[in-house]
Structure 1
Amino acid sequence: MEFRDLKAQYEKYKPEIDSAIFNVISNANFIGGKEVNQLEEQLADFVGVNHCITCANGTEAMTLLMMAWDIKGGDAVYVPDFTFFSTGEVVSFRGATPVFVDVDRETFNIDPLKLEKAIIKTIEEGKLTPKVIIPVDLFGLPANFSQIEKIAEKYNLKILEDGAQGFGGNINGKRACSFGDAATTSFFPAKPLGCYGDGGAIFTNDDELAGLLKSLKIHGKGEDKYDNVRIGINSRLDTIQAAILKVKLEAFINHELEGVNRVYRLYNEKLSGLVEVPVIPEGYYSSFAQYTIKLKNKEQRDGLQAHLKEQGIPSMIYYVKPMHRQGAFSYLPFEDKDFEVTNELCDIVLSLPMHPYITDEEIQAVCEAIEGYLK
């Protein structure tokens, strides 16, 4: 059994993927080929924004926005405490200060009430200038943007939606990566829409910002690549990855999104009452980067994971350590009591195999193994 079965996906779309790769190799347009522009247009159309700018990976997508917005030392950027390291890393990389915020226990996403308290605290302390909020669409579920956008407007802050795990989700039909001032996603292979290497993208309706990002991602180029008008970086999505993503995007839209939501419903039906199952708020739609359950305590969680491994069932813990306890952020002051939910989640969460190609028999085997351990 695979945790996320990329092999099954490839076998289903092998002729299309092989042909797409072969065409790029035959044309020898490995950087900036027509497939990149075509993919950007298709992604922008799917998300419902004016611009999609592809780049090398999801981390650099966020870094490019930090550069474009001139985030620097003395600036405060608000980041959920329960997320992958890169969301805070891009802030520190620019010399700014990540301010970690506890999350909502039910959705795993940044808690708007605690977010506003953190902003007020920063203002009252007077040491940093609040600039940006980076909500993360964790495990595929979009963050609470209706509340976050009100807070951002109240304190004149920008919003960068980190949709690395959320691509394909929506809130009342408005798709992930269309919220805030700009959004980013990752095409890491295990993401909801993944390529066969690294890749990322930025989404925005801001024409001026889009133009600046296109310059920054190619060494700060002006009219051409030898006319450099600013300091930038080298962050491009290569043509082979774009060609692969074009094939996979069609599959993603046609059946994979509904496929993972079908798996979610089956898991919930079989596991409700045994463990705490994921809850999708009314009006929300998740792309289920992960299907994450909660156990009673760390001992039960770790015991279940060991039991599943003995049965040949893979599982993962996202995340074993909160952001505020990462060694790289040890210089930041914090009070552990401000992160009660995150601290608990790190001890009790467990993610189960989740992908559109998992069979009903495999789902049944996972659920029977969990029931057998807990009862």
Structure 2
Amino acid sequence: MIPVNTPLLDGNEKKYLLECIETGWISSEGPFVKRFEEEFSSVVNRKHGIACANGSGALDIAIAAAKIGPGDEVIMPAFTIISPAFSIVRAGGVPVLIDSDPLTWNMDVDQIESKITANTKAIVVVHIYGLPVDMDRVLDIAHRHGLTVIEDAAEMHGQSYRGRPCGNFGLISTFSFYPNKHITCGEGGMVVTDDDAVAEHCRGLRNLCFQPQRRFIHEELGWNYRMTNMQAAVGLAQLEHLDAHVKRKREIGERYLNRMAAFTGLELPLSKTDYADNIYWVFGIVLADSCTATPEQLAKQLAEKKIGTRPFFWPMHWQPVFNKQGLFRNERYPVAERLAQRGLYLPSGLGLTNHEIDQVCESLQSALS
């Protein structure tokens, strides 16, 4: 079986985990948490890092720290994982959706200003699959309209925009350390910011809003989103190999592109834009209109050859949970819809070998024909 993701754990993970066990520091109070926060925030050139339990928790914290509340409109992409919209809705905010750019698969920045109203408070940017959003334009729009920018960089470990690290834009940026990310803790997340007050607020929100002097008296509702010392130990070991992980991801992406260059019926990811080279967090393909197969049929054929795949994100306006709440009625986002209906991604984890890539390509070509 070639799974859709195989993590790479060939550094100091075992050594650091053993240290946690031998010292007894296994909870969120252990020293690896602070080390991971400091070293990760340094990599993305942020003043503060706040480690937490997962990337969705990081978004909950970010939305709360940005003071998104009832009736506040927050602009975000239609095509993304559901987590940003969940965080906005739970805070009482209203997600306002933007369709995708058909080439980069990111939110179409040209559409943002048309969605701004007197109730708009923030823009949540989500970098999708391997290429970042055009941040200069987003930041310009936000500055002119007085909006907060929250950057979801969950898929962008080691990526940069015009030489500036992703995770360095806006008031707050968030990351995920799920096993398919370039850095994994098994589960985990991080909030990064340059604002001292926002950082302190995020630390409180992560930790049930305990107060330093009156621990069990609470002025605000928070979460138990603490990261354990063991998670941080794995994350720190992974961070030590980030450059090598990014290099390998790009090698995987380029090998796929070269092998598939002559395939018909496929739309392949862009290798670069004028502001970034693709980091290929996952290697996605979109079935061209000329292809009579569906992603489900293709996935089934590949599964028969013991090759894992995964569908693309399902757009927010088609999510039953939001439709039941009366959100996004009669809204259409044709590019996001096409990506969802025609896209899937192939095995692209860091543990993937060149031989396995070639095997995937041969099987894919056979299935397409």
Aligning the two structures, in what range does the TM-score lie when normalised by the shorter sequence?
over 0.9
AA in 2 matched with 1:252: L
Deviation of 1:224 (Å): 4.5
| Whole-angstrom distance in 2 between the partners of 1:97 and 1:24 | 42
Deviation of 1:299 (Å): 3.2
Q: Does 1:270 align with 2:255?
A: no
User: Which range is displaced more, 226-235 or 35-44?
Assistant: 226-235
For residue 267 of structure 2, give the secondary structure of its aligned residue in structure 1.
coil
Superposed counterparts of 1:146-225, under 5 Å: 146-196=136-186, 198-224=187-213
Deviation of 1:257 (Å): 0.6
| Whole-angstrom distance in 2 between the partners of 1:162 and 1:225 | 33
Deviation of 1:170 (Å): 0.8
- Residue aligning to 2:73: 76
Q: Does 1:289 align with 2:286?
A: no
For residue 362 of structure 1, give the secondary structure of its aligned residue in structure 2.
helix
AA in 1 matched with 2:327: L
Superposed counterparts of 1:44-59, under 5 Å: 44-59=41-56
User: Which range is displaced more, 293-302 or 326-335?
Assistant: 293-302
- Residue aligning to 1:256: 245
For residue 110 of structure 2, the aligned residue among 95, 113, 122 is 113
Say if 1:192 and 1:288, in contact at 8 Å, map to a contact too: no
| Whole-angstrom distance in 2 between the partners of 1:262 and 1:225 | 52
User: Which range is displaced more, 224-233 or 29-38?
Assistant: 224-233
Deviation of 1:252 (Å): 2.1
- Once the two structures are superposed, residues 120-150 of structure 1 have per-residue CA deviations (whole angstroms, 9 ceiling, x without a partner) of xx34xxxxx1011111111132211111111
Say if 2:180 and 2:349, in contact at 8 Å, map to a contact too: no
Q: Does 1:348 align with 2:348?
A: no
AA in 1 matched with 2:152: D
Say if 2:75 and 2:122, in contact at 8 Å, map to a contact too: yes
Deviation of 1:229 (Å): 5.5
Deviation of 1:236 (Å): 0.8
Say if 1:168 and 1:286, in contact at 8 Å, map to a contact too: no
| Whole-angstrom distance in 2 between the partners of 1:225 and 1:263 | 52
Question: Aligned pair in 2 of structure 1 residues 84, 333: CA closer, same or farther (>3 Å)?
Answer: closer
Question: Aligned pair in 2 of structure 1 residues 333, 359: CA closer, same or farther (>3 Å)?
Answer: closer
For residue 102 of structure 2, give the secondary structure of its aligned residue in structure 1.
coil
For residue 312 of structure 1, the aligned residue among 306, 313, 320 is 306
- Residue aligning to 1:126: none
| Whole-angstrom distance in 2 between the partners of 1:34 and 1:225 | 24
Whichever structure has more helix as a proportion of its residues is 1
Deviation of 1:352 (Å): 0.7
Say if 2:154 and 2:174, in contact at 8 Å, map to a contact too: yes
Q: Which consecutive aligned stretches of 4+ in structure 1 deviate over 3 angstroms post-superposition?
A: 297-300, 333-337
Q: Does 1:27 align with 2:23?
A: yes
Stretches of structure 2 that go unaligned for 5 or more consecutive residues are: none
AA in 2 matched with 1:283: Y
| Whole-angstrom distance in 2 between the partners of 1:86 and 1:285 | 26
| Whole-angstrom distance in 2 between the partners of 1:329 and 1:209 | 29
For residue 101 of structure 2, give the secondary structure of its aligned residue in structure 1.
coil
| Whole-angstrom distance in 2 between the partners of 1:56 and 1:265 | 33
- Once the two structures are superposed, residues 205-238 of structure 1 have per-residue CA deviations (whole angstroms, 9 ceiling, x without a partner) of 1112112211222222332571645312222111
For residue 77 of structure 1, give the secondary structure of its aligned residue in structure 2.
strand
AA in 1 matched with 2:166: A
- Residue aligning to 2:127: 137
Deviation of 1:286 (Å): 3.6
Stretches of structure 1 that go unaligned for 5 or more consecutive residues are: 124-128
- Residue aligning to 1:323: 316
Superposed counterparts of 1:2-13, under 5 Å: 2-6=3-7, 9-10=8-9, 12-13=10-11
- Residue aligning to 1:371: 365
So what's the TM-score if we normalise by structure 2? 0.93
AA in 2 matched with 1:311: K
Deviation of 1:61 (Å): 1.0
Deviation of 1:157 (Å): 0.6
Question: Aligned pair in 2 of structure 1 residues 63, 178: CA closer, same or farther (>3 Å)?
Answer: same
| Whole-angstrom distance in 2 between the partners of 1:225 and 1:27 | 29
- Residue aligning to 1:242: 232
AA in 2 matched with 1:287: I
| Whole-angstrom distance in 1 between the partners of 2:137 and 2:120 | 17
Q: Does 1:91 align with 2:94?
A: no
Question: Aligned pair in 2 of structure 1 residues 356, 28: CA closer, same or farther (>3 Å)?
Answer: same
AA in 2 matched with 1:40: E
| Whole-angstrom distance in 1 between the partners of 2:304 and 2:72 | 48
- Once the two structures are superposed, residues 39-95 of structure 1 have per-residue CA deviations (whole angstroms, 9 ceiling, x without a partner) of 111101111111111111111111112222221111001111111111100000011
Say if 1:79 and 1:133, in contact at 8 Å, map to a contact too: yes
| Whole-angstrom distance in 2 between the partners of 1:199 and 1:343 | 30
| Whole-angstrom distance in 1 between the partners of 2:368 and 2:258 | 17
Identity of aligned residues (%): 27
| Whole-angstrom distance in 2 between the partners of 1:364 and 1:161 | 35
